[in-house]
Every structure is written in structure tokens, then in C-alpha cells.
Amino acid sequence: MTKAVHPQKGRVSVLILTYPHAQQSAIFGLMDLLNAANDFYQRDRGKGSPECVFSVVTRDVDTVSFEQEDSCTACTDSVVIIPPCLGHTPKEFASWPHLLSPWHQKGTLICSICAGALYLAQTGLLDDRPATTHWSLEEEFLKRHPEVKLNIDKLLIDDGDIITAGGLMAWVDLGLRLVERFMGSATMLTTARFFLVDPGGREQRYYSSFSPSFGHGDAAILKAQHWLHKHFNEPLTVPMMANEACLEGRTFIRRFQAATRLTPSKYLQQLRVSKARELMELSRMNIEEIAWQVGYEDASAFRRVFQAITGLTPRDYRKRFSPLNRIDEVL
């Protein structure tokens, strides 16, 4: 657990920036979660513990200014949060660097959620640093900001002065991390129990699906991809894939990785695990049957690959995500 960092004068100034298509449920959800944490902290803090309170406000990115908000955050810890963008790919806004960089230089903790990381990356603050965003934005993000060490497996990356959270609902994880940082683990756990949410240990790869790129423009690799998606459950080798693409082996591997960002073998593993996830969610086949259906003769090897990609064992994945499993438990 993170050790609580109690702010001066007991106030943590939290500014949530709003913009067109920002996810309103994340904005108001964070406000509710942090305000609830205020109540729990005041109720449960021990005698002699410093007083702490989140002061949460929202401002439109087109009207806010560093000077305006900086005067309100003097002598306090301050946090700026960029919420998710709902239903649209974030566009370039010239105002982001002018806003966020001065705050960061003054010691403000900068946070983003989901697509908000694309706005944060525009400032250069994420250059050569680890960050996460929604798994479906990986290709767009890397195209715009290849200098960022993107890790979409993680639901939340706390890099000290910058925190990035992955999915649309990762505002919950970010909110709990802020509560833990400023009010301590006890208040964080109380808040998590109140909202009936998992206080930690989740990863984005539990939920992400395999979304290969088909728009890379390499016709030979595209032909091999289409062939793989038809024959994924057969015994396949890289030479067979290269033959389908009509390319020499080394050339095929190099071009395949350039087009898909995966080696041919890793691509096949991802494809097979994706099919296995569907079978675990929607069928009652046992693990050995599923392994065979997706192209693995050795169920133990399948289990190792599955856990390496999803972060969960096949059994734990089915327990967490299969509606059929929940029906069986009720019956």
C-alpha cells in the first residue's frame, strides 16, 4: 500500500478539466468518490492525525488558465485530472501544453484517464516515460507519440508525479489511488468497500481483446493474416506463413512485425487465445477441449500461453467472465 502523504493546511486541490465529449460519468463519479472519502477520513482518522480534505472543482479547458487556478492552489497539494473522451478520438488541442506544463513544473500531480492520455502526451510530459491508455487506442497513440513507453496491459501506472489510468471506468482506480496517497490505505479500503469495487490488483489485459491491424498497406502480409485467421487451429509454422505471403522467411518476419507490431508466432498466440476466450465465455467445454479446438495439442502449454497473455489462468478467467459459470453457481 502507498504511504499517505498529508498535504499542508489539510487541503488537496483537485481540478478536473472538461472538454467536448468528456465522459460525464467519470467526472461526477470522481467527485462523488473523493467527497465520500472526505467523510470516511474525517470519521475514522485517529487522534492527532492531520486533517485532510479533497477540494474538487471542474473547469472547462477553453476557459481555465494557469494563473487563475494557481492562486487557488497555493500552500496545498494539487492534482489535475484529464477525464476520458467518450465516443470520439481526441483531437489536438493547442491549449493542453500551455496549461499542464506550468502546473507540472509547480509540483502539481497530473493524471489522465483512458483517452485523456492522448491529451497529456501532447505536452511532452510523457516522453520516455511509462504510461497507459485504453487498449483500443494503442495503435493511434503509438502513431502520434512513439516516444512514450506505452503499456496497455496495465490499468493504472503511477509514476510519482504523473498517473495514467487505462479504461473508461479506470477513474475508479485513479480515485482510489489518490485516496490512498493522501489519506492512507485504511480510508482507501473503506471507500472501496462503500462503492463495492475491487481496491486493486486488476490489469487491463484481463478485459482487452485482440484487435489486429489490417490497414497497414502491406498486401503480402495482409494475405498471410487472412490465411492465419482461417487456419489458426491447424499445426502452423512461420515458413508456412511466409510461403502463403510469397516471401522469403527473414523478409516475411521483418515485414510482418513492421505491419502488426507482433512477430508471426506472437500473433498466432494472440489469435488462438482470443478464440479460446470466446469459448470459455460462451461454452461449457473443459480446458483441454478448448486448447485442442484452438490449435494446442498440449493443454499445459496452452495454460502457460493463456496466462502470459491475459494475466489470468484459464480457470480464473472463466470464473470471472463466463455468464454460464454464474448461472451454474445459481442453479
Identify whether residues 128 and 34 lie together within a single domain.
yes
Identify whether residues 227 and 199 lie together within a single domain.
no
Structural domain count, the chain: 2
pLDDT value at 20 more than 90: no
- Confidence grade of residue 283 (pLDDT, cut at 50, 70, 90): confident
pLDDT at 331: 36
pLDDT at 51: 79
Render pLDDT for 203-259 as a digit per residue (tens, 0 to 9).
777 767 777 877 788 999 989 998 998 899 999 999 999 999 999 999 999 999 999
Render pLDDT for 83-131 as a digit per residue (tens, 0 to 9).
998 866 666 655 666 778 888 888 889 999 999 999 899 899 999 999 9
pLDDT at 3: 52
The answer to whether the pTM exceeds 0.75 is no
Identify whether residues 189 and 248 lie together within a single domain.
no
Identify whether residues 70 and 48 lie together within a single domain.
yes
The domain that contains 141 carries what CATH number? 3.40.50.880
In a domain, 96, yes or no: yes
Identify whether residues 139 and 177 lie together within a single domain.
yes
- Confidence grade of residue 72 (pLDDT, cut at 50, 70, 90): very low
Domain of 283 in residue numbering reads as 219-330
pLDDT at 264: 96
The winner for highest mean pLDDT among 86-90, 263-267, 275-279 is 263-267
Render pLDDT for 128-161 as a digit per residue (tens, 0 to 9).
999 999 988 888 899 899 999 999 888 899 888 8
Render pLDDT for 291-327 as a digit per residue (tens, 0 to 9).
999 999 999 999 999 999 988 899 998 888 776 654 4
In a domain, 3, yes or no: no
End residue of a domain, out of 171, 206, 241:
206
In a domain, 113, yes or no: yes
The winner for highest mean pLDDT among 5-14, 192-201, 286-295 is 286-295
The domain that contains 223 carries what CATH number? 1.10.10.60
pLDDT at 307: 93
pLDDT value at 71 more than 50: no
Identify whether residues 106 and 128 lie together within a single domain.
yes
Cα gap 224→241, rounded to integer Å: 6
In a domain, 211, yes or no: no
